[in-house]
Amino acid sequence: MPGRIQSIERAVAVLRLLDTADQPLELHEIADTLGLARTTTHGIVSTLRELGLVGQMHDHGPFHGRYEVAEAARLFGRGGPDPHELRSLAMNWADSLAAQTGLAVTLGVPTRADVLVVHHVFRPDGSPQRLAIGQRRPLHASALGKALLAFASGGARRLQGSDLTAYTQRTIRTHQALAEALAIVRQDGLATEDGELEPDRGSIAAPVHGTGGLAVAALAIFGRRDELFDGHGGPDHGLADATKATARALTRQVQTLW
């Protein structure tokens, strides 16, 4: 197979991002989500606009200047990988991450409103556990959700206008705080959730990227807060590195297909 053309991969990722975002996005939001330089992003978006696949808002309303996918390009459809194929690819990686960390592992994919858990490996200690496959996780209060918001779903703006449900004292409640948290997620390539969904539990997640940089899934370990985080609230370095490394390995495999 001849090598794939990176700029086309990136253009498709931009289209998919704009298609999944509920609202038009600003240039910097597109660039940040896909991890691209602003100038590169501008070039791609301008070209797509001239080709009629992306529209720019000129209504002088609140979205003035932002970009959205044009009707002509919606034929690309949802375009994400089949969640069960993702699980099939992830089985060995997830098993290995759980064995390595001694913690439970989940794989989540983005939906319009939340995260769908498509794979779950028990923590290997024989304790009673129930499969969470098919369950939903909130975008703003789970590590899976934050990883996907940061790298796939259009950032904090995605949830603007909707209430951020407070599950615990520690749940992020304001859109400003969420935007700041997602900036850190993008910078670290890692999302954390520290007692924000259940009081004593937490989670660490890393994105699984398709070609072009758009995240197609996120991989998370979860356990007790004291297992995952150090005294200063930062994620345990070993666990964070293991999660990122496994997500990278899965990314390499996923990118041979998507």
Partner 1 sequence: MVAAIDQGTTSTRCLLFNHAGRMIAVSQREHHQHYPRPGWVEHDAAEIWRNVERVVPAALREAGLTPDNLAALGIANQRETTVIWNRHTGKPLARAITWQDTRTEPMIEDLAADGHADLIREVCGMGPTTYFAGPRLRWLLDHVPGAREGAEAGDVLFGTMESWVIWWLTGGPDQGSHVTDVTNASRTMLMDIRDMRWDERLLGLMDIPAAMLPEIRPNATVYGSCRTVVPGVPIGGALGDQHAALFGQTCFSPGEAKCTYGTGAFMLMNTGARLATSPHGLIPTVGYVVGDAPPVYALEGSIAVTGSLVQWFRDSLELIETAPQIETLATSVADNGGCYNVPAFSGLYAPRWHPDARGVVVGLTSYVTKGHLARAVLEATGWQTREVADAMNADAGPGLALTRLKVDGGMTANHLLMQFVADAIDVPVERPFVMEAVSLGAAYAAGLAVGYWADLAVLRSNWHRAALWEPAMDPALRDAEHANWNRAVERTYDWIRPT
The binding site for partner 1 (CB under 8 A) comprises 82-85, 87-88, 91-92, 95-96, 98-99, 119-122, 124-126, 129-131, 133-134
Decide: 141 and 173 in contact? Cβ < 8 Å. Answer: no
Q: Output the smallest distance, CB 132 to partner 1, in A.
A: 10
Tell me the sheet residues that pair with 220: 106, 205
Eight-class DSSP state of 235? B
Comparing C-alpha atoms, which of 63, 60, 75 is closest to residue 12? 75
Residue 110's contacts (CB-CB under 8 Å, 6 or more residues apart) are 20, 80, 116, 148, 152, 153, 215, 217
Neighbour tally for 51: CB within 10 Å? 12
Q: Output the smallest distance, CB 18 to partner 1, in A.
A: 25
* 51 vs 91, beta carbon nearer partner 1: 91
Q: Output the smallest distance, CB 111 to partner 1, in A.
A: 14
* 144 vs 178, beta carbon nearer partner 1: 144
* 121 vs 148, beta carbon nearer partner 1: 121
* 79 vs 124, beta carbon nearer partner 1: 124
Q: Output the smallest distance, CB 88 to partner 1, in A.
A: 4
Exposed, middle or buried, 56 (CB in 10 Å: 0-12/13-18/19+)?
Answer: middle
Round to the nearest angstrom and report the end-to-end CA distance of the chain.
Answer: 15
Q: Output the smallest distance, CB 96 to partner 1, in A.
A: 8
* 91 vs 166, beta carbon nearer partner 1: 91
